[in-house]
Amino acid sequence: MSARKPWVRALLFASTALCSSAAFADAPLAAAGATNLTFNPYSLYTNLYIDIDASAQQLNVNLTGTGGDVDLYLRYGSPFPDCSATRCSDDMILRYAQYHSMSSSSNESIVVTNASTIPLKAGRWYIAALNGSSASATATLYVTTSATVQAANIQLDFGNPRSSSSDPKNNCDVAPWSDTTAATPVGGNAGTTLGDQRKNALQYAVQQLAQQIQSPVPINVHACWAHLGGDKNRATLAHASSTSFAFSDTSFPMPWLVKKYTWYTNTQIARMGGVSNCGALGGDCSGVRNDVIEITFNSDIGTPNVIGGSPFYLGYTAGANSNSSDFIAVAMHEITHGLGFLGLANVDPSSGPIGARAGITTGASSISYQNYDQGPWDDIFGDNIVKVASDRQNYTPFYGYELTSQPGNAARAAAMTSGNTVTATDLGALYTPTLLRWSDPLAVNSSANQATGNPPDNFPSLYAPCDLTQTATCSTSSGSTLSHTVQQGDLMNAFINRGQVRQMGLAAPMLAAMGWSTSPAAAPVYAKPFTGIWYDRTHSGHGIDFRLVRHDANYGDAYLLAFYTYDATGSVEIFQAQGNIVDGVFVPIIIGPDDSTLTRFQYDPVAKTIKPVANTGGRVVVDFNQAANSPACRNIDRSAAPLLGVMSWSFADTTGKITEQSDWCLEPLTTLAQNASPDHGGLYYGGSGDTGWGISVLDINRGAAGEQLWIDFYYPDANGKPIWAVANAQPYVNGQTIPLIQNAAGYCRTCKPVAQNQVQVGTITLNFGTPTTATIVANYTGGSFMRTNVPLVNLGVAQ
């Protein structure tokens, strides 16, 4: 797959129809065996699997290929779709997958352990392999298991220099790694040149970290130097970060991330997904593109005017030189930031409001804190933080559920400036507890935590100085605030001291809460949507009729989705989708001749049937998992909704160019518990000889107010275009005639809502019994749709 800019949100709805490479029959794979696969252009295998026993703690799936662009997909417990029986697309396979590796090459790998988000467990694991290229490919699939989890190395990239014309501090100078200046071996470091000693010391540092984090996948670090400056009292010894950030959403799912719609570093994404950086996000794996962390050391350390000429201590033995900065401890500290010990709430006043969450500005190459087009989103570091009240008794989430129009920036800013006072001449009391605290139990209950007492007193403090070096009022210290601890001797303190420890300390359990845990994990629980009418309260008049039509233990329960809406002129129209609930997500099948999944149908009045129109370019997916985290669900308060779903939809022209797209936040009009008994709800139509129209019924128990019947009626107009009307009766009496209502002044899907102009267009009479019958008169311009006492068939299935 081509590279996805992790800060640019692009819908993957421009999918490609694929052909199965073999007749569909389950194909078992043997552990420690090799399977040869041959791919035609745009073809795939979805019938591969391996049975895992309870002794396995690690599963390795590796694909080595030549030609084409073969991607690898993995899921547990239920199969990928049978693409020999139905048309499949790369987008469909991606949404079925729980893990994927999809770089631009045909060499892919996935590692799953008992500590993975979707953990390795006994049972059947299904594998799909997909060639998304116009060229043929061959590949060999290797599957192995292990009774123990194998830790991988942290690998260093000492090459790939870079120059920045706008800011020399962003240079990547690699020459210091080959500095031939003679050096005396020190503290166990046997290097005889300065360059070799620097390399040796960094190798030693990453070995220490690798032993402590026990990552099952390699971590690639780009090692650089730059002139970062300093003065006689202070200097930045080094800085590091992950090379990109991303999140899982409906446009690009990464189900292995614990929290959806939440920023993660690419190191966390790769670690949790058991894949390489390019395997997770797409693109080229070669060279610097596969580096997930970049660390830059200060070339000015050791020069006379920077912290008194104090050099880096490059020895392996800690604390051997009290007049130098411990290079190994500095490297471990900075690389730990790159592992994800980094908050994304804004701490730089020049970038936007302090405390602002990170969003995306179209065309930008980095995250934005103001004037963004998309977002903002929480980040996983901030999701583990609380703001402690000034009474130090109460606390609230650092982020929590907040509306986009009512950001909690001010409260976050107050917490992030609640610590020691820093001036140009005084750093203040560095270890004073702050009101910015880490609340995850793994760190709170860790022996590395020095805080004691009851919550929140025992929550570890994060660095939150009142910085007065640049302003007369408290501000943050850019680069230090938020992303450091406040306890003496800890690796992740904001200030590195001589003789700094080389153990991760509190950072280890903090990182464990953000994807680095090595403890066995519980299987995730997915949302369970249900039959009913769903709507977005910011798009009144539009809606979704979502109906369970078949239970399916293999591929997920089958649903019919009817999107009743308005076109660009405000006229009513309907689109349909069919699909399955896969891990809490409605994944549609291809039903349109243009490979669309959201399709408009045309009615044939002679045959009394419908067929999909040639080109709608429609795509849809609905994700019911953690929708409250999505910006789409934070434009107004929906905190009381029993369940939310993010519906991403789009339409494209015949060239594939997207003409409309949006994310809507759906909630149910009623819950299953509110259904009447007996429940007459369902999706009714005139049987196989009279299709192309339908009646969706919601039967609601309103207690003393009586039974309520809500009807969505779908029928064709004079041109065979599906349109719709609604009916509502309360209290409802079986057999009563109900007015059919239509909105004569609708508004388009991307327009601002307008006042509703409801007019009666006919009547509907339902008699529930054996059989259930309907009498309908529904008028439209140029004619009317009529049925008299017609027997109905219910497509709906009870839940």
**41 shares its domain with 83:** yes
Output the pLDDT for position 614: 77
Cβ atoms 84, 108 nearer than 8 A: no
For range 627-656, the mean pLDDT: 95
Q: Are residues 231 and 314 in the same domain?
A: yes
Instruction: Please report whether residue 441 resides in a domain.
Output: yes
pLDDT (tens digit per residue) in 249-293: 999 999 999 999 999 999 999 999 999 999 999 999 888 889 999
Predicted local confidence at residue 499, as pLDDT? 58
Enumerate residues 6+ apart whose C-beta is below 8 A from 227: 168, 169, 171, 298, 299, 300
CA distance 598 to 440: 42
Q: What is the pLDDT of residues 510-565, one digit of tens each?
A: 999 999 999 999 999 999 999 999 999 999 999 999 999 999 999 999 999 999 99
Q: Are residues 108 and 170 in the same domain?
A: no
**Based on the domain organization, do 358 and 338 belong to the same domain?**
no
Q: Could you tell me if 589 and 449 lie in one domain?
A: no
> For the whole model, what pTM was predicted?
0.94
Average pLDDT over residues 95-99: 98
Parallel/antiparallel/unpaired status of strands 238-242 and 293-298: antiparallel
Please check whether residues 175 and 118 belong to one and the same domain.
no
Considering 506, 523, 540, which residue would you say is the last residue of a domain?
A: 523
Say yes or no: 329 and 431 in one domain. no
Tally of CA atoms within 13 A in the half-sphere of 214 that contains its CB: 14
Give me the long-range contacts of 196-204 (CB less than 8 A, separation at least 24): 197/314, 198/297, 198/312, 198/314, 198/327, 199/156, 199/158, 200/314, 201/312, 201/314, 201/315, 201/316, 201/327, 201/328, 201/331, 202/156, 202/327, 202/328, 202/331, 203/156, 204/316, 204/328
- Which of 154-168, 220-234, 419-433 is predicted most confidently? 220-234
Structure confidence by residue, pLDDT tens digits, 282-337: 999 888 889 999 999 999 999 999 999 999 999 999 865 667 899 999 999 999 99
Residue 589 within a domain: yes
Q: Are residues 368 and 490 in the same domain?
A: yes
- Please tell me whether residues 184 and 128 are part of one structural domain: no
Residue 261 is assigned to a structural domain of this protein:
no
Using the 3D structure, point to which of 342, 372, 405 is the last residue of a domain.
342
Query: Is residue 758 classed exposed, middle or buried when 0-12, 13-18 and 19+ CB atoms within 10 A define those classes?
Result: middle
Written as six digits, the tokens of 284 are: 């080229």
Residues 435, 455, single domain; the answer is: yes
Residue 252 lies in a domain: no
Q: Is 177 a member of any domain?
A: yes
For residue 296, being part of any structural domain is answered with: yes
Residue-level pLDDT at 323: 79
Same domain for 475 and 510? yes
Q: Nearest 5°: phi and psi at 766? A: -115, 135
Q: What is the mean pLDDT of residues 148-174?
A: 91
Mean pLDDT of 670-696: 93
Domain count, the chain: 5
From 498, 523, 548, give the residue that closes a domain. 523
> Residue 742's domain spans which residues?
674-794
Indicate whether 199 and 322 sit together in one domain. Answer: yes
Closest CA to 579 of 601, 603, 563, 555: 555
